[in-house]
Amino acid sequence: MIDMLYEYFKSQNFNVKRGMNNVHFNGTMKRRFNSKGSEVYDLYQSEEVRALPFDYPIVGYSNASDFPVLTLRIWSTKDSPRNFSLQRFNAGDTGTASENTCLTDVLYPNDNHETGKRIRLKQEFLLVTASLQDIINEHLALYGDMELFADKVRIQINDTHPSLAVVELIHLLMHHHEKSFEEAIDITRSCISYTNHTVLKEALEEWNVNRMKTLLPRQYEIINKLNEYFIRQIKKKFPSQPQKIEELSFIKNEQVKMANIAIFGSHKVNGVAKLHSELLKNYVFKDFYEMYPDRFTNVTNGVTQRRWLLTCNPFLSQLISEKIGYDWILDFTKIKKFGDFAFDKETQERLLEIKKLNKKHLIDQVGPLLYERYKNQYDADYTPFLDVDALYDVQIKRIHEYKRQFMNALHILILFYELIDTNTPRATKRMFIFAGKAAPGYELAKAVITFIYCLSRAIENHPLARNHLKIAFIENYNVSKAEIIIPAADLSEQISTASTEASGTGNMKLTINGALTIGTDDGANIEMKEAVTEAFWPFSFGASAEENIQMAHNHSYQVNDLIESNPLLSRVVNALIDGSLAQTEDEKKALKFLHSSLVDGVYGSPPDRYFVLNDLMSYYQTQKKVETIFENPNLWAEFVIKNIAGMGYFSVDRSIDEYAKKIWKIEKMPMDLNQLAKVKKEYSEMDQCRIY
């Protein structure tokens, strides 16, 4: 029944349109006092945008007939004709005339220009206030007033982008629900908690004071008032440390620091892996941790085994179920039993055969797309993939310096040089798969993609190398493509600079699908290694988080000395500027930019700020170990089975349970059958969905 319903839901469009919420930008404020004597501001001559909600049902998994269906509420500004400014259009200002209709078209618009910054701030606020208004309206419909709001509502801020929720909830509580300033702060803190997803200072969102003051005048006024309130608390907590005010303040150098607001307005702040949470406490938010030591906690990420194993890898799922039963689908800790079959030859052989079937599926699904993309650049014998016996080495994630796709590509260049120098076939064929997107304004990430393309072309044009090494960069990466790539992976590349990756979830998805990990001790890799045990986690490499932090702090990393002392490093670095890989002027410019990032530094940062070359030789030697084990298929399968069996902790079921217990303080409740009947009836009456 579940499978039939899943296919049915997939085939339909269940975006059910609801009412709408009004969102206001710009305008002139007029001060008044609410019934509690707190200052509030009415807004006149504002720019009104209508946010229309659409409900999308998320079908749960259950062995029972009363399976859960949650609602994902998404927002659109395109569907309201009033969001289009005909007056501006007729005046010839066609660009801004449609600005508000486009606010929900592209998530995180490019913000390296003023228009992009304005649209991004408007988008973030629209999604925040529309959702908060909706939450409040639903609460009032259920309970009639706001007295129980702090007990009944829990809001999780996912990174800094929705941090305006703190400010906007305080505004709504004071302006529309007659709460005092202090009451609004207390209620907001009871409701909101903040999950941080980055340790990179530059990724902690900030907004220019003038931009926020113009677009969101009421919210900016509240931020100022909150800042004054908070500074008084700081002075009381640290009377002899005035420098704390500058570090903790919401406004610094004419920038509004959104992470600071999120921490202030939350009752809990969590990282998403043990190392990440410790880095937040000891480095990133050290002053806040001293201010609120009980507020910080950890909830390690997890993934859903029902999508990332049961659905996307049916052959492996069937093998696991045959060996240990079906309980693992709802209780992933049961996957541990699969480890009992690690030394069973029959299980090993079937596992290896399943991996080949999944590689064949990848080739069949993605191969034609790549062939059409590149067929005119190569001769008639061009094929996008090596055969299924090759080692499929996969790095799929957004393109970023700290994730070090660059290091992966430099290693491939080393292997290419080894092959052409010796003119000898490789014992292990390597199929390198990249997928991911670069932010539109992130030129260095785009340069990495260019380098990967240039390297792929050089390999493809070499008559020996093309049969032993191959690169596939799979464009327009998304979940659907991940579901095809991940089951086919032999090796999972989790090679971020230690101390920079918050957690990762791709590492977990790849492991439960039978890929071994080559990785640094970063993010959740550390906990995964502990769960699997070091004996079956053989491909760790690189400097530790503490070593990298100390090198950065002490400025002790001398990359140019490292290059000069190592001919292999010198050769691959020089290849970026010697013309052997780049052909067009744009390619030469991109590769020169990468070269500069290593030897000179870019964006005002020191040379090789993510220690690519510092770890490259360790990475290179560890990759040799990968090939040694891969050449013994049954030994490889033994490691794979032990890795899968060790992943029971990394289920989203455990993560959600920890959020519920540690952060939201809520308990599991049986399904309300009356509410279920009501929802079924409602969807049925919409005439877009039938649940039998």
Q: Which residues of 381-401 are buried (b: 16+ CB within 10 A; e: fewer)?
A: eeebbbebebbbbbbbbebbb
Taken in order 99, 101, 106, 108, the sign of the CA dihedral is positive
Alpha-carbon distance of 104 to 80, in angstroms, equals: 12
CA distances from 449 to 298, 433, 471 (A): 34, 12, 12
Contact predicate 296/280, CB 8 Å: yes
Which of 101, 497, 505, 622 is flagged as catalytic? Answer: 505
- The per-residue pLDDT for 89 is 65
Active site residue 120: no
Per-residue model confidence as pLDDT tens digits over 53-80 = 998 888 888 887 767 778 899 999 987 7
Residue 347 lies in a domain: yes
Three-state DSSP at 344 gives coil
Residue 690 lies in a domain: no
The answer to whether residues 293 and 369 belong to one domain is no
The answer to whether residues 88 and 190 belong to one domain is yes
The answer to whether residues 124 and 249 belong to one domain is yes
Domain boundaries, position 634: 305-650
Residue 515 lies in a domain: yes
Residue 691 lies in a domain: no
The DSSP secondary-structure symbol of 303 reads B
Contact predicate 426/468, CB 8 Å: yes
Residue 249 lies in a domain: yes
**Helix (H) or strand (E) run with residue 213 in it:** helix 209-215
Ramachandran quadrant class, 533 (left: phi over 0; alpha: psi -120 to 50; beta: rest): left
Of 454, 413, 406, 461, nearest to 594 by C-alpha is 406
Residue 63 lies in a domain: yes
Which of 82, 197, 361, 662 is flagged as catalytic? Answer: 197
Which of 78, 307, 361, 398 is flagged as catalytic? Answer: 398
Which of 154, 171, 350, 397 is flagged as catalytic? Answer: 397
One-letter amino acid at 398 equals R
Q: Which tokens is 88 given?
A: 């501006």
Q: Which tokens is 482 given?
A: 């991940």
The answer to whether residues 619 and 646 belong to one domain is yes
Point out the residues of the chain with pLDDT beneath 50: 1-2, 4-6, 8-9, 689-692
Contact predicate 387/367, CB 8 Å: no
The DSSP secondary-structure symbol of 377 reads G
Number of Cβ within a 10 Å radius of residue 464: 15
- The per-residue pLDDT for 151 is 97
Active site residue 197: yes
Which of 120, 509, 595, 642 is flagged as catalytic? Answer: 509
The DSSP secondary-structure symbol of 606 reads P
**Helix (H) or strand (E) run with residue 471 in it:** strand 469-474
The answer to whether residues 644 and 664 belong to one domain is no
Three-state DSSP at 577 gives coil
Alpha-carbon distance of 673 to 29, in angstroms, equals: 47
The answer to whether residues 423 and 296 belong to one domain is no
Which of 171, 281, 400, 403 is flagged as catalytic? Answer: 403
Contact predicate 198/523, CB 8 Å: no
Alpha-carbon distance of 178 to 186, in angstroms, equals: 14
- The per-residue pLDDT for 688 is 52
Alpha-carbon distance of 427 to 422, in angstroms, equals: 13
| First CA to last CA distance, the chain | 10
CA distances from 656 to 246, 351, 592, 645, 653 (A): 36, 30, 46, 21, 5
- The per-residue pLDDT for 3 is 52
Burial of 334 (0-12, 13-18, 19+ CB in 10 A): middle
Residue 692 lies in a domain: no
The answer to whether residues 241 and 341 belong to one domain is no
Total structural domains within the chain: 2
The answer to whether residues 618 and 664 belong to one domain is no
Three-state secondary structure readout of 179-190? CCHHHHHHHHHH
Contact predicate 173/146, CB 8 Å: yes
Alpha-carbon distance of 302 to 307, in angstroms, equals: 12
The answer to whether residues 373 and 236 belong to one domain is no
- The per-residue pLDDT for 14 is 56
The answer to whether residues 601 and 465 belong to one domain is yes
The answer to whether residues 535 and 637 belong to one domain is yes
Residue 636 lies in a domain: yes
| Domain CATH code at residue 200 | 3.40.50.2000
Burial of 144 (0-12, 13-18, 19+ CB in 10 A): exposed
Active site residue 334: no
The CA-based angle 84-85-89, given to 5 degrees, is 115
One-letter amino acid at 165 equals A
Of 347, 281, 354, 286, nearest to 316 by C-alpha is 354
Alpha-carbon distance of 412 to 471, in angstroms, equals: 9
Active site residue 397: yes
